[in-house]
């Protein structure tokens, strides 16, 4: 817990933390859980990592393509997707390498709040993106300036 707080600026509670063998396993568990709770669609970055879509679809979710540009996930388009869950790779978009801009982070948090939505962060490359402006921080730890 202290590592996650120190390295990722997250504030996890033990009862809200699940240790998995990697992102794929954690994401698969999450997708199945969401499906069991009635979620039908998830916005997945396009272009993105093929496994994101495959894992979501295997769990029974429809993967809705979410556009990406040089600022990362194009958040305004999430509103049109009708999704309440969105997967993003904010520190290092896969495969473009874009870093989700401050404005987009603010928009993403606003989307999640207003939509009562869920942001799924795949930050597999954060250890090699320490130069990024929001290095190391997970969405729950994004600074007020991102709002
Ligand atoms: C975008 C992305 N996310 C996650 C992973 C790693 O997934 P896992 O932790 O399941 O090995 C990779 C590995 O290539 C990747 O490219």
Residue 109's closest CA among 74, 63, 75?
75
Residue 137 pLDDT greater than 90, yes or no: no
CATH of the domain at 91: 3.40.640.10
- Largest alpha-carbon pair distance within the chain? 39
**pLDDT band for position 145 (cuts 50, 70, 90):** low
**pLDDT band for position 136 (cuts 50, 70, 90):** low
DSSP-derived secondary structure letter, 33? H
Of 73 and 3, which is predicted with more confidence? 73
Specify if 81 maps to a domain.
yes
Q: What total of structural domains would you count in the chain?
A: 1
Of all protein residues, whose CA lies closest to atom 5 belonging to ligand 1? 124
Cα–ligand 1 centroid distance for 24 (angstroms): 7
- Give the mean pLDDT of 12-20: 88
Specify if 89 maps to a domain.
yes
Cα–ligand 1 centroid distance for 21 (angstroms): 11
pLDDT digits (tens, 9 = 90+) for 45-99: 999 999 999 999 999 999 999 999 999 999 999 999 999 999 999 988 999 999 9
Specify if 4 maps to a domain.
no
Domain that residue 118 falls in: 23-125
Cβ–ligand 1 contact at 109 (below 6 Å): no
Alpha carbons 33 and 52: distance in angstroms, whole number? 16
Look-up of token digits 């490359």: 125
Cβ–ligand 1 contact at 122 (below 6 Å): yes
Cα–ligand 1 centroid distance for 100 (angstroms): 18
pLDDT the model gives residue 131: 47
Cβ–ligand 1 contact at 111 (below 6 Å): no
pLDDT the model gives residue 3: 79
Specify if 55 maps to a domain.
yes
pLDDT digits (tens, 9 = 90+) for 86-120: 999 998 899 999 999 999 999 999 999 999 999 99
The pTM assigned to this predicted structure is: 0.86
């Amino acid at each position: 817990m202290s590592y996650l707080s120190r390295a990722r600026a997250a504030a996890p509670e033990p009862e809200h933390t699940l240790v998995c063998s990697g992102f794929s396993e954690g994401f698969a568990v999450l997708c199945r859980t969401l499906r069991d709770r009635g979620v039908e669609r998830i916005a997945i970055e396009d272009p993105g990592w093929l496994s994101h879509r495959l894992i979501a679809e295997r769990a029974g979710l429809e993967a809705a393509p979410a556009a990406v540009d040089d600022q990362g996930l194009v958040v305004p388009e999430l509103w049109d997707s009708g999704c309440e869950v969105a997967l993003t790779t904010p520190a290092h978009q896969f495969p473009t390498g874009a870093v989700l801009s401050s404005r987009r982070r603010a928009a993403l948090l606003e989307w999640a709040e207003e939509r009562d939505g869920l942001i799924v962060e795949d930050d597999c490359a954060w250890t090699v993106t320490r130069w990024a402006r929001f290095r190391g921080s997970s969405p729950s730890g994004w600074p007020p300036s991102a709002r």
